[in-house]
Amino acid sequence: MPMHWGILQHVEFEGPGLLLAEIERRGFTARMVRLDLEQSLPVVEDLDGLIVMGGPMGVYEQDRYTHIAPEIALLKAVIAAGKPVLGVCLGSQLLAAALGARVYPGIDSGLPQEIGFGSVALTAEAAHDPVFAAASSPWPVFHWHGDTFDLPAGATLLASSSVYPHQAFRYAANVYGLQFHVEPSAATWADWQPHLAAERYPSAEQQQLLENTGKVLIRRLFDVFSATSGSARPAAQPVTQESLA
């Protein structure tokens, strides 16, 4: 049976981009959940994997954003079930929290926001990772965050930047956190443009480079996820976005 993914989206303009394109290319299915519209979270039994996208809120703002604590609980349950997980930007911070790590504003440690086209340096462990072994160092990415996290216990650090040391990690065989973005498509950039200062918006050449390199990592991620899923479900639903109507 095709894998069925849950995709948690926190704001209208931060969708799954190339991640959803890869899901569809492989014949998998997905349920989009818009948490900013108060749509309900999926249950673990209905999922073969979970993707958690970015957003402007902080993990520590649980009183203001009531979906954060249930998201962390869902992440814990999916990990405990041995199912694949990918956290992107805020999603990586939520994943770190689910694994027991501290998440906090970078400014608390005197670190600036990290926003714009940039790169990450791969660690020595990345050369042995089934996803990042396909990448070279430095690897181009798009940064858009001001929060960070401690490396979860038992996790393997895969990438760092000159400002924030914890940029990518793997936990177990099929749980990945990416503090940076690799998923923007042409449509994503159009959605992001009103929210980014002009000097931080990437050029057309940078956008194309990020799409090309993003596809490399995303395809390797789904190779790993497919090989480690081990789940069998009786049926899967087509790609949908829940409506409140």
How many other β-carbons are positioned within 10 Å of the β-carbon of residue 77? 16
Measured CA to CA in angstroms, residue 105 lies from 61, 194, 245 at distances of 11, 24, 37
Decide if 242 is inside a domain: no
pLDDT of the residue at 229: 78
Q: Considering only CA atoms, which of 70, 123, 116 is closest in space to residue 94?
A: 70
Full strand arrangement of the beta sheet holding 85-88: 139-145, 114-122, 156-160, 168-171, 175-178, 85-88, 49-52, 4-9, 29-34, 240-241
The pLDDT assigned to 89 comes to: 98
Residue 221 placed within a domain: yes
Residues with Cβ within 8 Å of residue 217, at least 6 apart in sequence: 131, 132, 134, 135, 182
Sequence-ordered alpha helix ranges (H) in 14-140: 18-25, 68-80, 90-98
Q: What are the residue numbers of the active site?
A: 89, 181, 183
Task: Give which of 117, 122, 234, 239 is closest to 169, Cα–Cα.
Answer: 122
φ, ψ of residue 53 in degrees (nearest 5): -90, -175
116: Cβ–Cβ under 8 A, 6 or more apart, which residues?
A: 142, 143, 144, 199, 200, 202
pLDDT tens over the chain, length 245 residues:
789 999 999 999 999 999 999 999 999 999 999 999 999 999 999 999 999 999 999 999 999 999 999 999 999 999 999 999 999 999 999 999 999 999 999 999 899 999 999 999 999 999 999 999 989 999 999 999 999 999 999 999 999 999 999 999 999 999 999 999 999 999 999 999 999 999 999 999 999 999 999 999 999 999 999 998 764 333 333 333 332 22
* Residue with the two structure tokens 């303009």: 13
Residue 177 resides in a domain: yes
Residue 96 CA to residue 91 CA, distance in Å, equals: 9
**Nearest-angstrom CA–CA distance, 202 and 205:** 8
Inside any domain, residue 243 = no
Number of folded domains that form the chain: 1
| 244 within domain boundaries | no
Residue 241 falls within a domain, yes or no? no
Domain carrying residue 119: 4-236
Supply 124's token pair.
Answer: 């020595």
Closest to 95 (Cα-Cα) out of 177, 16, 181: 177
User: Scanning the structure block, which residue is given the tokens 């790169």?
Assistant: 119
* Pair 159, 121: CB distance under 8 Å: yes
Taking Cα atoms as reference points, which of 20, 19, 66 lies closest to residue 39?
66
Give which of 152, 197, 205, 199 is closest to 179, Cα–Cα: 152
Rounded distance between C-alpha atoms, residue 91 and residue 84, angstroms: 14
- State the CATH number of the domain containing residue 60: 3.40.50.880
Q: What is the pLDDT of residue 1?
A: 77
